[in-house]
Amino acid sequence: MAKLYNVNTFKRAAKKRLPAPIYHYMAGGADDEIALRENISAFDHYHLMPKQLRDVSVINTKSKILGKEVAAPLILSPTGMSRLFHHDKEFAVAKAAEKAGLYYGLSTMASTSIEQISDVSAGPKMFQIYILRDRGLTTEFVERCKASKFDALCLTVDTAMAGNRERDIVHGLTIPPKFGLKSLLSFASCPYWSLNFLLNPRLRLENVIHRVDAIKDGNMGLMKYVNDQFDRSVTWDDVAWLASQWEGPLVIKGVQSKEDALLAKKAGATALMISNHGGRQLESAPAAVDCVRPIRDAVGSDLELIVDGGVRRGNHVAKALALGADACSIGRPYLYGLAANGQSGVEQVLNILISELKRTMTLMGCRDVSDLDETFLS
C-alpha cells in the first residue's frame, strides 16, 4: 500500500480499495457539492498567528467534552452502515476511538447495535438519534442508551428528507450492494473488499431491524422503513420532550444559525454540533467553521460547540478552537482509514490528526488547547 501520511493519502487508498458505488456514497455530497467543498476550503481563510518563545516543551491536548475526559478535542461523528466500507464495521471504529481516548458517535443507521458497541467499548460514546414518526422507537433508543451506559445523545435535525446525492445515481448505488452487470466491473476490480463482503456477515441495520420483521425485501425495504420514519413535522418542542426523556448531555447536530442555537439552548441542549452534514443534505449551506463566531457570540459560554465538517488537518482543529469552538468532529477522515485498513487505518488517521494538532500548537506557542483563542488568529 502507498505511503499513508495524511488524511488525503487515506482518501486515495480508500478509493482504490472500494468499489466505485461505495466509495462515491462515502465521499460524495449533495447537488453540485458546493457545501462539501467549502466545508474544507473555508479553513484556508483563517490564519494562525504564532506567539514565539513560550516554552512549548510540553503540549496538552486533553480536554473535557460532554462530561468526559478525552485525549484531544476531536470526536468521531456518527456515520451509517460502516459495514459497507469494511467487514469490521463500527466495532473497528469504536475500538480505535477508545484506544485513542476519543468520543465515538454511533449512528441510528449503524450496522452495529447500541448493545454490541457497549460490549466492546468502555470509551466515551454518544448515540445519534432522530425524533422519528414512531416516537415509541425514539423512546426505546433512549432507554437502550441508558441501559448500555452511553454518555451522551446526539439529535440530528438536518434530515427532514434525504439530500440529493447524484453520485449514487451515476454509480448505481444499491443497499445492500448488488453484484449486477453494471457494477460487476467495479466490484471485480476490488477483490479484497468483494471477498470480505461475501465471506463476512451481511449488512444489517442492527438498531432498527427488530421493528421490521414483516419486511420481506431485505435492507432496501428496511431503508424505506427508516426513510418513512423521518418526521417533517418535528419542532423545537419535540427537542424539549427528548431532553426531558434523556436527562443527560444532549447534542443538537445540524444547527448553523445563532437563532437556532438559542432555540436549542432553550429546548435543553447542552452542546451543538455546528454542521451541514458534511455537505450531504442542504446544498450551499454555510461552511461549518464559518458559523462558530456568530454562534459563540450569541450563546456565550453556556453551550459546548463542536465543529463538524471539513476537518482534514490538525491545524483545522486549532483554528476552530481559536474561533470559539470546544471541539471538532470528523466523519469521512476516519471512514477513509476504515476502508483503507480497518481498525488500524482508523487508528492511523486519529494519530495523524492528533500529532498534526500538537505540531501546530508547538509552532504557535500554545501549550494547552484550553488556551486557544482569537489572539492566535491573524
Ligand X SMILES: Cc1cc2nc3c(=O)[nH]c(=O)nc-3n(C[C@H](O)[C@H](O)[C@H](O)COP(=O)(O)O)c2cc1C
* 8 Å CB contact between 266 and 169: no
C-alpha cell at 26: 462515502
Which of these ranges, 88-96, 172-180, 302-310, 314-322, lies near ligand X under the rule CB under 6 A?
302-310
Alpha-carbon gap, residue 305 to 364, rounded angstroms: 22
Among 101, 249, 309, 324, which residue interacts with ligand X (rule: CB under 6 A)? Answer: 309
Binding status of residue 317 toward ligand X by CB under 6 A: no
In the region spanning residues 4 to 43, those forming contacts with ligand X, defined by CB under 6 A, are 26, 39
Residues in the chain: 378
Specify the residue for cell string 456477515: 201
Binding-site size for ligand X (CB under 6 A) equals 24
Nearer to ligand X, 39 or 341 (CB): 39
* N-term to C-term CA, the chain: 39
In the region spanning residues 159 to 218, those forming contacts with ligand X, defined by CB under 6 A, are none
Specify the residue for cell string 445519534: 128
Among 19, 21, 80, 123, which residue interacts with ligand X (rule: CB under 6 A)? Answer: 80
Which DSSP symbol is given to 226? H
For residue 323, the SS3 value is: coil
Q: How many CB atoms lie within 10 A of CB 281?
A: 22
Which of these ranges, 9-17, 92-100, 178-186, 305-313, lies near ligand X under the rule CB under 6 A?
305-313
Catalytic residue among 24, 86, 87, 277: 277
Closest to 361 measured CA to CA, from 54, 42, 94: 54
Among 87, 125, 171, 277, which residue interacts with ligand X (rule: CB under 6 A)? Answer: 277
Alpha-carbon gap, residue 200 to 193, rounded angstroms: 11
C-alpha cell at 230: 423521518
- The number of angstroms, rounded, from the C-alpha of 159 to the middle of its chain's C-alpha atoms is 14
Q: From the CB of 130, what's the least distance to ligand X, in Å?
A: 8
CA atoms within 13 A on the CB side of 158: 24
Q: Kind and range of the H or E element at 75?
A: strand 74-76
Binding status of residue 123 toward ligand X by CB under 6 A: no
In the region spanning residues 333 to 372, those forming contacts with ligand X, defined by CB under 6 A, are 333, 335
367, exposed or middle or buried, with CB in 10 Å at 0-12, 13-18, 19+? middle
Binding status of residue 219 toward ligand X by CB under 6 A: no
Which of these ranges, 75-83, 223-231, 298-306, 315-323, lies near ligand X under the rule CB under 6 A?
75-83
Q: From the CB of 307, what's the least distance to ligand X, in Å?
A: 10
What is the rounded (10 degree) CA torsion for 208, 214, 216, 217? -40
Which of these ranges, 188-196, 230-238, 272-280, 295-303, lies near ligand X under the rule CB under 6 A?
272-280
Which single residue brings its beta carbon nearest to ligand X?
331
Binding status of residue 142 toward ligand X by CB under 6 A: no
* 8 Å CB contact between 75 and 105: yes
Binding status of residue 310 toward ligand X by CB under 6 A: yes
C-alpha cell at 39: 466545508
Q: From the CB of 186, what's the least distance to ligand X, in Å?
A: 17
Among 118, 138, 156, 360, which residue interacts with ligand X (rule: CB under 6 A)? Answer: 156
DSSP string computed for 111-136: SS-HHHHHHH--S-EEEEE--BSSHH
Nearer to ligand X, 11 or 95 (CB): 11
Active site residue 45: no
Among 332, 348, 353, 372, which residue interacts with ligand X (rule: CB under 6 A)? Answer: 332
Q: From the CB of 76, what's the least distance to ligand X, in Å?
A: 9
Q: From the CB of 249, what's the least distance to ligand X, in Å?
A: 16
Q: Catalytic site residues?
A: 277
Residues of this chain that bind ligand X (CB under 6 A): 26, 39, 77-80, 107, 109, 128, 156, 253, 275, 277-278, 280, 308-311, 330-333, 335
